[in-house]
Amino acid sequence: MHNMSDIIEQYIKKLFEDANEDVVEIQRAHIAQRFDCVPSQLNYVIKTRFTNEHGYEIESKRGGGGYIRITKIENRDVKGYINHLLQLIGPSISQQQGYYIIDGLLDNHYINEREAKMIRAVIDRETLNMDVMARDIIRANILKRLLHVISYY
């Protein structure tokens, strides 16, 4: 059985499929009521599964007529998507942000599950056992190099 976050994520992805567009607007209260959960559960799903690293942009308006607009970033080919990720990484990157990038690559079928596990192992804080600043810089360099390799295959 999937947890609530998985169910909400799948629902939002289905909205994209049904709309056949790159933009979906949802209302927190409506989704929370539909799945009998608190609005913060929806916020969690948006913040962890529909990030820039996953290939989405989020616009949010709070209040009575508020909405969350989720836009798929236009990258129809691997090189465009990789270039987008390279811009996001910058000189350093946290482990969690690195994992989001890996998840996005996996979701877009640019890597398989085995490759994702290997990359996660390489960028893990246990593997990069050093001070945080150095670790985040090395992690960024590793991911950038891997992204360049992925873009040529």
Residue ranges of domains in the chain? 4-72, 78-151
| Among candidate residues 138, 52, 32, 133, the one with its CA nearest the CA of residue 97 | 52
Helix axes 132-151, 78-89, angle to 10 degrees: 170
Range 78-151 classified under CATH 1.10.3720.10: no
Q: Which helix (H) or strand (E) holds 59?
A: strand 56-61
Cβ burial of 138 (10 Å; 0-12, 13-18, 19+) is middle
* pLDDT at position 62: 78
Residues 72, 108 contacting (CB under 8 angstroms): no
Residues 121, 127 contacting (CB under 8 angstroms): yes
Residues of the chain with pLDDT under 70: 1-2, 64-65, 74-76, 153
Same topology between domain 4-72 and domain 78-151 = no
* pLDDT at position 74: 66
Three-state SS at 37 = coil
- Domain 4-72: which topology? Phenylalanyl-tRNA Synthetase; Chain B, domain 1 (3.30.56)
* pLDDT at position 21: 82
Give this prediction's pTM. 0.69
